[in-house]
Structure 1
Amino acid sequence: MAGRVIVVGGGGFGRELMCWVEDCAAAGSLPALAGFIDDKPDELPAYAPRLGSVQDYQPEEGDLLALAIAKPAVKRRVTGLLKDRGARFAQVIHPSTTVVRTATLGEGVVMCPQTMLMPDSRVGDFVTILNFSGVGHDSVVGDYTTFSSLCDVTGNVTVGADVFVGAGARLLPGITVGDGALIGAGATVVRSVKPGNTVYVAPPKTLKTMGAGSVRDSETGDA
């Protein structure tokens, strides 16, 4: 396949996306990976070729960019900067992903291994869906939203733009999550969330601490 794929962002997610792009190239759905653009020269390990910075990148014919950025606001800023120069963005749909024929998805969507889009779901531009997450039937997801790993978006859910959903969160049927909301890791959302609001699960508390020299303390090093 002609052209090349360039990953935008060289952090931990960038190195994951490198692997998923390589899987897509092997399956014939994307061109080969050429390298990364990132504004931090020390961000990448030696095995990940850096082609330059985001600030300096100029698109070449055949280039497709794969967006390895999770924070919605940063995604929006970086894609705007690059699209103003004429950059084109790939849909990275891992071969293990399930996208049913009546689902629709926008530009620059990234779907990592074992993710799913169910019947008549609609996913906007630059949505990121990490490993083992899924969007249920008739649900709608706005632009630039990110789902962390193991998220369950059930049926008839509406998720706005620029939403971040933490790992293991669950959105129950029929609710609406407003633009710019933050859903904390592990939260089960049972009612609609207003734009810009944060929903989270209270962090766990230590109920009992074993004394120094106890079996647990000496064998495992746990408090």
Structure 2
Amino acid sequence: MKKLLIIGAGGFGREVLGYALDIKRENRDWELYGFLDDNPDALDNYNCEYKVVGPIHDHIIQEDEIYVCALGDPKAKLKIGRDFKARGAVFANIIHPTARIGRTSVYGQGLIMCPYSIITENVKIGEFNTINLFSGYGHNAIAEDGCTLSSHCDVTGYAYLEEGVFLGSNVSILPGVRVGKYSRIGAGSIVLKNVPAYVTMFGNPAKVIC
């Protein structure tokens, strides 16, 4: 049985801890061990039974460990995840018991699916993706590595998220729309047209604001 280490002891890391503990023991091949965080005091003000067991930046990969990257920022998540993986780390998929994955869909390692999230049919999800509460992908959607969906997001059929896209809460991506790499879509936005790379959009309909 491997030891699960959560990378990042911030707010989302603590949420992921709870979701991981919801998975029945017979359905997992790891036991929770603790957090990695460069701030050793990150959990001091919280009632948490698991501790920060070491920093992220100089962690030595161990064969008896498995990891999950609980960082919200796509760039940081991909940088750390890829660095760990290049040094031999294996990443767990934390899929909450209430989440659903269609039988024809595929996904990479490091996937986090929060309660009531969904991947429907013929969806392709890359590595280190996060799908938060009540969010999901419609049929034939694609998400490259490192995308983050905040809560209540709807990525509809045939939509395409390039690497490192971040969606704020309650964002809707209309069918067939492509969102360029590392773009950020503000909370509550509805995206009607293709989005360039490296921009921030907000509104209904969503427009580039920077």
TM-score by length of 2: 0.91
Deviation by residue 1:6-25 (Cα, 9 ceiling, x = unmatched)? 10000000100001111124
Is residue 161–residue 178 contact of structure 1 (8 Å, CA) maintained in 2? yes
Alignment of 1:1-223 (within 5 A): 2-26=1-25, 28-44=27-43, 45=46, 46-201=48-203
Question: For the residues of structure 2 that align with 1:3 and 1:30, how far apart are their CA atoms?
Answer: 7
- CA drift at 1:30: 4.2
Give distance in 1, aligned partners of 2:15 and 2:195: 31
Q: Deviations over 1:158-198 (max 9, x none)?
A: 11111110001001111111111111100011111111122
The offset of 1:80, in angstroms, is: 2.7
The amino acid that maps onto 1:88 is V
- 1: CA distance, partners of 2:137 / 2:82: 26
3-state DSSP class of the match of 1:14? helix
Q: Kindly provide the amino acid, as one letter, of the partner of residue 193 in structure 1.
A: V
Q: Provide the secondary structure at the position in 1 that maps to 2:25.
A: helix
Q: Distance in 2 between matches of 1:89 and 1:3?
A: 11
Q: TM-score, normalised by structure 1?
A: 0.86
**Contact 1:181 1:195 survives alignment (8 Å):** yes
Alignment check: 8 A CA contact 1:24 1:30 kept:
no
Bigger Cα displacement from structure 2, 40-49 vs 98-107: 40-49
Contact (CA 8 Å) 1:6, 1:63: kept in 2 or not? yes
Aligned residue pairs: how many?
201
Gaps of 5+ in 2: 205-210
Tell me by how many angstroms 1:136 deviates: 0.4
Percent of matched pairs sharing the same residue? 35
Structure 1 residue ranges without an equivalent (≥5): 203-223
Deviation string, structure 1 residues 18-72 (Cα, Å, up to 9, x no partner): 0111112435234221111100011113533111111232222231101110101
Larger-Rg structure: 1
Considering only aligned residues, what root-mean-square deviation do their CA atoms show, in Å?
Answer: 1.4
Structure-2 separation of matches of 1:84 and 1:120? 29
Q: Which residue of 2 aligns with 1:214?
A: none
Q: Distance in 2 between matches of 1:75 and 1:30?
A: 23
4+ runs deviating over 4 angstroms: none
Amino acid at match of 2:180: G
